[in-house]
Structures are given as structure tokens and as C-alpha cells.
Structure 1
Amino acid sequence: MTLALDPTAQDLLFREAHTANTFTGEPVSEEQIQAVYDLIKLAPTAFNQSPLRITLLRSREARERLLPLMSRGNRDKTGSAPLTAILSVDLDFHEKLPRLLPARPTLKDDMYGEAELRERHGSFNATLQAGYFLLGVRAAGLAAGPMSGFDAQGVDKEFFGDGRQKALLVVNIGRPGPDAFLPRKPRLEYAEAVSVL
């Protein structure tokens, strides 16, 4: 066997997993999302930055604030999903570094004192964490519907008015509903994507 992960887990996370476009009405519990977070928080980021922030929209009122900011093709599925998460980068993630990296107490100022550098590093690492989050949702036996089709500036203004967070991705979460999955699209073959030097 080439991979350590058993084939059933490989299927759950990758081969049989698709982006969900419809969901059942079955709720997603707080315990499920906490279990997802407790798993994915352990995945690697540079200097253990952990800049991802997850804003869960459970109430109808919160969802109604988001819907006008979604692209037309994403509104219906977002309105009907049992749970929607806004994944964002915390631009002040460096403030937590002394607690996360006690052996490097000056890192937050030495490396991340400049706002532009902090945003670039934070966005990159939060995007890594967003990928881990999608895999964590799948590991919980749920389906995820990640979407980049939304007004990011509008979401930032509506949900993060203090300017400390920037939206990266909106994700619908739940059990897949009828006709939830489109046919699998092609992917690049190994020889097209991998170079050996």
C-alpha cells in the first residue's frame, strides 16, 4: 500500500467527496463543528500562526444579511443550507503569537510588525487552514459547499465592520440533499502537474 490512510478514508476525504450544491434540512450541531475545528487546528501553518477565523451563520437573520452579498447562483443554496460559515483571516493574528509560540516572544513584532506583511502571511496561512477546514467537514461525514462567488468587501463591511478580518471563503455545510453533486470534472494528470528535477 502506497498511502497510510485506508481506502475508505481516502474515499471519504477525496475520491467520493464532491462540492455539495443542495442539503437536507438536518441540522449541523455545535459539537460537530467543534470536533471539526479541534481536528483541523492541529494542521500546519507557518510559525503556528492560526489566522483563520470561522463565523457560523445559524440564525435566519444572519443568513438574510449574507444572501444579498452572494452571487446570484449561490443565493438559493446558501439560503437553504443548514449552516453557513464565513472563513476569514484575522489581520491581528500576530497578537496571539506570544501565547502560541512562547519560545519566540518577540516574533509578533520582529516579523509581523508591518501591516502589509502581516496581511500577506495571514491570508496565505488562513487559506491553508480553509482547505483543512473543508477536509475536516468531510471527515465529520458532512458535505461542504465552498464558494468564492460573493461580494468580499460587502461581507467584510457587514460582518467585520472593525476591519480586523477579511473574508476569504463562504462555505455551506450539511448533509447532501437530492442531486447535490455535479459530475466529477477532469483533473490534471500527474505528469501534467508534477516536475522532477
Structure 2
Amino acid sequence: MGKPLDEAGLDTIFRTARTYNGYTDQPVSEADIRGIYDLLKMGPTSANQHPARFIWCMSDAAKEKLAACAMDSNADKIRKAPVSVVIGMDEDFHEQLPWLFPHADARSWFLRDEAGRKEHAMRNSSLQGAYFIIAARALGLDTGPMSGFDAEKVNAAFFADQPKVKVNFISTLGHGDPDSVFDRSPRPDFDKFNRIA
């Protein structure tokens, strides 16, 4: 059974964490990236599907390729970030279920249900994308998730060899520059969007 995080931990992950538009010059290493993945992979997905496919753009060439798929303001953020990440989703995730979920024949649940696979891939890769953000924050890094890009261009540039993998969203990653954030936007109180039934 888990223990509540202390106040500093809650601040790091949620309360004082921000979406960054720019980063300091402090580098992000491959060890940092692997550390993020080793945390995010522990987050739950339905039937342990793990449909997310991550491409970590560290080289200038990879970042430039991704920037060419994004709207102008996002393209500049991608180029300048230490790392930019493509969070994709494998619509044929079910092919991996025999080893990811050995408790049942879960592959058969999705074999003839392409629409269901797409729905599950989107839902569960979105969860994994959120785990990426939380894991990065937990390890002292910051992110800038975004959706201002041409999905077809991203798919052609990064997943041409895997036609069943599609982009979900993209994000920058690094050590956030405090001068790059706006004032925090409003957050609704519980009673605004919640009901207890």
C-alpha cells in the first residue's frame, strides 16, 4: 500500500509544475530518458496493452524533421528544446498481448475489432503520455506537450515503416526556463465539473 507524497512531492508533480515553452541549456541525457521510461511503463493500461510508442528526438536532425511537421510557434520550441518526443500509438498493440498479458488470450479480444483497437490505442497511449509527463516531473525535468502539428506529416516522417503506428501528441522535454511560462490559467474548483453520485 502506498504512502502519500509529502508537500514537496505534490508540488513537483502537480501544484507548482508548469508547461514550459523554453528550456535552460542544461542537457538531457539518454540515461534521463531511460529513467523516464522506466517509471512511465509502470503506469496502468487496460490489459497491460502498452500501445504507446515513443520517439525521443535528441539530434538536431531529428528535431528539425519534427519541427517541419509543426505549426511555426511550436516548430521553434521543438528546435530549441534539448529533447522533443513523439508519443505514438500502435493500433496493432494486440499482437504484443500474448507476452504482455499472459493471463488470458487477450489478443483474440481485439483480433477482428479494428475500431476497438483504435479506441483502446488512443485511450491507453494518452494515459502513457500523461505518465511520461508525471515521470519527467518526478525526475526533475519539465515538459511542453502540444498538439499543433500535422499528424499525417508526423506519421510519414517517423512511422512510415510502421503504418499501424500513429502519432497521438508531441512534447518537448528539458529543464524548464521559468521566463518561458505564462501566468497560470484558472483551475476549476471541485464543484464546477464534479458530481458525487
**TM-score normalized with structure 2 length:** 0.94
> How far, CA to CA, are the matches of 1:72 and 1:119 in structure 2?
29
Offset at 1:113? Answer: 3.1
Correspondence for 1:62: 62
Equivalent runs, 1:4-153 vs 2, <5 Å: 4-104=4-104, 106-153=105-152
Identity of aligned residues (%): 37
Q: Which amino acid aligns with 1:102?
A: P
Q: 1:22 to 1:113 in 2, by over 3 A?
A: same
**Residues 47, 106 of structure 2: 8 Å contact kept:** no
> How far, CA to CA, are the matches of 2:125 and 2:111 in structure 1?
15
Offset at 1:103? Answer: 1.6
**Aligned-partner SS, 1:179:** helix
Correspondence for 1:186: 186
Tell me the alpha carbon deviations over residues 15-52 of structure 1, each in whole angstroms, 9 at most, x when there is no partner.
Answer: 11000111112221111111111111111111111111
> How far, CA to CA, are the matches of 1:40 and 1:59 in structure 2?
23
Moved more, 48-57 or 64-73: 64-73
> How far, CA to CA, are the matches of 1:37 and 1:66 in structure 2?
20
Flag structure 2 segments of 5+ consecutive residues without an equivalent: none
> How far, CA to CA, are the matches of 2:149 and 2:81 in structure 1?
16
**Aligned-partner SS, 2:133:** helix
RMSD: 1.3
Offset at 1:112? Answer: 4.0
Offset at 1:178? Answer: 5.2
> How far, CA to CA, are the matches of 1:138 and 1:17 in structure 2?
7
**Aligned-partner SS, 1:69:** coil
Correspondence for 1:196: 196
**Residues 94, 110 of structure 2: 8 Å contact kept:** no
Number of aligned residue pairs: give it: 194
Q: Which amino acid aligns with 2:185?
A: K
Flag structure 1 segments of 5+ consecutive residues without an equivalent: none
* Moved beyond 4 Å, runs of 4+: none
Offset at 1:196? Answer: 1.3
> How far, CA to CA, are the matches of 1:87 and 1:112 in structure 2?
24
